[in-house]
């Protein structure tokens, strides 16, 4: 059994509101400190994920992003500021994380994640969070997590709606069958141009804040072992109607995909 790192006096005070929760307590906080989480994308979804996981005391945050901060990002990517315009998003996010919590270590991966480099990258972490905005990268992340047996917290947003799920296709469900994979939701990427980008369709900034914060909550649950993660369930959020719905989905076949 891996020995969990101790908490310093400063950390005991910083995380006091976690520690008084019986479901988390000192052992759960030490699990957060020991965790290595990879966040793919430091944009609209990644911004609240990184901010809340840093505040929660996740010991190591890896950031994958090869983009620079632009003015149109600031309407929703709240981890970046006006003074970060033109800077690397990964570096800007790192500086924000360290302002939030100097106890967190940050690893930067300023590259575009592909099906070729994803497996080795994913293998270095305990948990992966997908904050990307294109299907090519989503499939690369999901396939790598399935191959390397790493839990994946996935979210996607439209103009006024979002979806969220947790993927652990390398484990079995309560009925003994394998959990579904990302390809059970989306067997193949849609044709190019079918799904408009945020730049073309628009998106409400607060919407990605809601979905990214939900991703951070699922990550905390997975790390600490509390609650019921959204495995085999897709959470749907309609912002205009202020409504959440959950649908169940299953594995399509008996393969290992």
Q: What is the C-alpha separation between 8 and 12, in angstroms, rounded?
A: 6
> How many of the other CB atoms lie within 10 Å of CB of 20?
9
pLDDT tens per residue across span 35-65: 999 999 999 999 999 999 999 999 999 999 9
Residue 125 has pLDDT above 80, yes or no: yes
Q: How far is CA 94 from CA 20, 50, 54, in A?
A: 29, 9, 10
Does 21 score more than 90 pLDDT?
yes
Q: How large is the average pLDDT for residues 105-129?
A: 97
What's the pLDDT at 180? Answer: 97
Q: Which pLDDT belongs to residue 175?
A: 82
Span 159-208, pLDDT tens digits:
999 999 999 999 998 888 899 999 999 888 877 766 666 667 889 999 99
Q: What is the mean pLDDT of the chain?
A: 94
Q: What are the pLDDT digits (tens) for 90-115?
A: 999 999 999 999 999 999 999 999 99
- Nearest residue to 69 (alpha-carbon basis) of 91, 90, 87, 96: 87
Using CA atoms in the order 230, 252, 41, 144, what is the torsion angle rounded to 10 degrees?
A: 110
């Amino acid at each position: 059994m891996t020995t969990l790192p101790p908490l310093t006096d400063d950390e005991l005070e910083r995380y006091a509101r976690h520690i008084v929760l019986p479901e988390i307590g000192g052992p759960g906080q030490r699990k957060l400190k020991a965790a290595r989480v990879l966040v793919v994308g430091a944009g609209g979804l990644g911004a609240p994920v990184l901010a809340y996981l840093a505040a929660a005391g996740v010991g190591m945050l890896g950031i994958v992003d090869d983009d620079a901060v632009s003015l149109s990002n600031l309407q929703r990517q709240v981890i970046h500021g006006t003074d970060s315009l033109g800077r690397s998003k990964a570096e800007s996010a790192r500086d924000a994380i360290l302002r939030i919590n100097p106890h967190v270590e940050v690893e930067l991966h300023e590259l575009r994640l592909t099906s070729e480099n994803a497996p080795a990258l994913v293998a270095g972490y305990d948990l992966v969070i997908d904050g990307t905005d294109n299907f090519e990268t989503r499939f690369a992340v999901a396939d790598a997590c399935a191959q390397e047996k790493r839990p994946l917290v996935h979210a996607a947003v439209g103009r006024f709606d979002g979806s969220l799920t947790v993927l652990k296709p390398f484990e079995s469900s309560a009925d003994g069958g394998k959990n579904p994979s990302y390809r059970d939701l989306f067997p193949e990427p849609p044709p190019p141009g079918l799904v408009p980008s945020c730049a073309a369709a628009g998106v409400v900034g607060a919407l990605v804040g809601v979905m990214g914060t939900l991703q951070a909550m699922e990550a905390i649950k997975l790390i600490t072992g509390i609650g019921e993660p959204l495995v085999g369930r897709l959470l749907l959020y309609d912002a205009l109607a202020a409504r959440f719905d959950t649908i169940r989905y299953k594995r399509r076949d008996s393969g290992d995909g």
